[in-house]
């Protein structure tokens, strides 16, 4: 018998008592605090001015252009707001958070200051819930949680506050449908990322459900070359070794690649995800197209599951780079180094302009004239590098964008600091030489 469809398949009676997803009705109560901690009047002023503002004159002139979509998206707004509501709703209880609420160091530090305890997984991605008791509260992050983690917490009987983003839930539905209908879920994503782990787990709601995670087009071609038996394709042993941490238990490439449904981590580059889906479809067509009564729909399914906020921010960067004025002289991308959507924005920007991906505004040091950053496309564990004299002399255009987990206050601080590098300072109505 198939399991009952649902978010995590929690029994209704338990959900009514301990599972919360729609807030606690405390928005008006926490809104002043949220606004004071994350709002930036400077950013709103630049936005109202057509996403562009200039300071200084002559060779000292600096123009800042904001991408037309940047920073907090609806899902992140909701997750942060819900976490603040949870702290207010349960003032006397221990509150735990599965991993990070979002990938932003400022927001996560603030929750730590509020007494929220962050639970971190081990090297295999498994959490230790040994110290959690029924009286505790556990927040599930915007990325979601695996089905196994949810069920283990459910068995404890603690209060669960679910902030999973709606765009992520849409992908889960697709993966669950693939598993129900006998398709392997081929997921374009980073296998270590919380969202991808949670998404892949949705396939395991069904006894025959299975998944395979591909990082990029190269990974995808390895899979399809194996399926088609192309010259130079990996052997079975090589395939199993390469994808050892990226596939469901018992995955058999000789059996489980004939029917594939493509999904993706919502924050990947949309063009890459669409390209991977097309490659899979073509390969399945080549492999099975000669069979009598061939129907591609019996072998291949695909839906574009990039979230709208991710797509809008990527589109806004492309628009900023290809506008009539040309690309900015320098791009600054603000967001956590472990933020997938921020990293992809940096990669897009680096195709057009000198780009600095900074975790936070504090990476800009106007006193020393330096910036700490990670070059676009570098691995997650790569160290920061530092650059001096990173703003060219003469009239300058600096473009700014930020990942979906970056609050406006950090964007505003970055603008102020980069102006100070050039000897300018923000004032209420004007900027004077510092």
Q: Show which residues are catalytic.
A: 195
Nearest to 137 by CA among 156, 114, 111: 156
CA distance 79 to 162: 8
Q: What is the 3-state secondary structure (H, E, C) of the chain?
A: CCCCCCCCCCCHHHHHHHEECCCCCCHHHHHHHHHHHHCCHHHHHHHHCCCEEEECCHHHCEEEEECCCCCCCHHHHHHHHHHHHHHHHCCCCCEEEECCCCCCHHHHHHHHHCCEEEECCCCCCCCCCCCCCCCCEEEECCCCCCHHHHHHHHHHCCEEEECCCHHHHHHHHHHHHHHHCCCEEEEECCCCCHHHHHHHHHHHHCCCCCEEEECCHHHHHHHHHHHHCCCCCCCHHHHHHHCCCCECCCCCCCCCCCCEEEEECCCCCHHHHHHHHHHHHHHHHHHHCCCCCCCHHHCEEECCCCCHHHHHHHHHHHHHHCCCCCCCCEEEEECCCCCHHHHHHHHHHHCCCEEEEECCHHHEECCCCEEEEECCCCCCCCCCEEEECCCCCCCEEEEEEECCCCCHHHHHHHHHHHHHHCCEEECCCCEEEC
Contact between residue 214 and residue 186 where contact means Cβ atoms under 8 Å apart: yes
The CA angle 79-83-86, to the nearest 5 degrees, is 135
């Amino acid at each position: 018998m198939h399991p009952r469809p649902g978010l995590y398949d929690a029994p209704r009676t338990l959900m009514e008592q301990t599972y919360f997803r729609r807030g606690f009705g405390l928005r008006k109560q926490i809104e002043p605090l949220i606004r004071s901690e994350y709002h930036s009047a400077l950013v709103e002023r630049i936005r109202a001015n057509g996403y562009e503002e200039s300071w200084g004159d002559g060779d000292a002139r600096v123009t800042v252009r904001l991408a037309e979509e940047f920073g907090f998206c609806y899902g992140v707004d909701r997750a942060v707001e819900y976490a603040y509501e949870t702290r207010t709703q349960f003032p006397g209880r221990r509150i735990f958070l599965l991993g990070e609420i979002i990938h932003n160091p400022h927001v996560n530090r603030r929750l730590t200051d509020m007494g929220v305890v962050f639970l971190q997984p081990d090297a295999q991605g498994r959490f230790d819930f040994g110290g959690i008791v029924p009286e505790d509260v556990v927040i599930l992050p915007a990325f979601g949680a695996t089905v196994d983690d949810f069920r283990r917490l459910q068995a404890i009987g603690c209060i669960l506050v679910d902030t999973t983003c709606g765009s992520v839930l849409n992908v889960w539905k697709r993966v669950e449908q693939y598993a129900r209908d006998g398709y392997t879920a081929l997921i374009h994503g980073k296998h270590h990322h919380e969202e991808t782990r949670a998404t892949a787990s949705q396939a395991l709601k069904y006894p025959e459900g299975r998944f395979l995670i591909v990082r990029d087009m190269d990974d995808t071609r390895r899979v399809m070359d194996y399926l088609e038996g192309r010259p130079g394709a990996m052997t079975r042993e090589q395939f199993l070794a390469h994808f050892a941490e990226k596939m469901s238990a018992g995955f058999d490439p000789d059996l489980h690649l004939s029917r594939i449904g493509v999904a993706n981590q919502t924050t990947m580059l949309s063009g890459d995800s669409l390209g991977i889906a097309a490659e899979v479809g073509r390969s399945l067509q080549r492999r099975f197209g000669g069979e009598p009564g061939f129907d591609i729909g019996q072998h291949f399914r695909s839906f574009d599951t990039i979230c709208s906020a991710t797509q809008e921010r990527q589109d806004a960067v492309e628009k900023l780079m290809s506008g009539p004025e040309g690309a900015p002289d320098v791009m600054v991308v603000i967001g956590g180094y472990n933020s997938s959507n921020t990293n992809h924005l940096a990669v897009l920007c680096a195709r057009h302009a000198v780009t600095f991906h900074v975790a936070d505004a504090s990476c800009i040091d106007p006193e020393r004239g330096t910036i700490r950053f990670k070059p676009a496309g570098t691995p997650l564990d790569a160290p920061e590098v530092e650059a001096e004299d990173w703003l060219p002399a003469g009239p300058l255009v600096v473009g700014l964008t930020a990942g979906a987990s970056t609050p406006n206050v950090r964007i505003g601080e970055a603008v102020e600091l980069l102006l100070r590098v050039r000897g300018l300072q923000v004032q209420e109505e004007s900027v004077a030489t510092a």
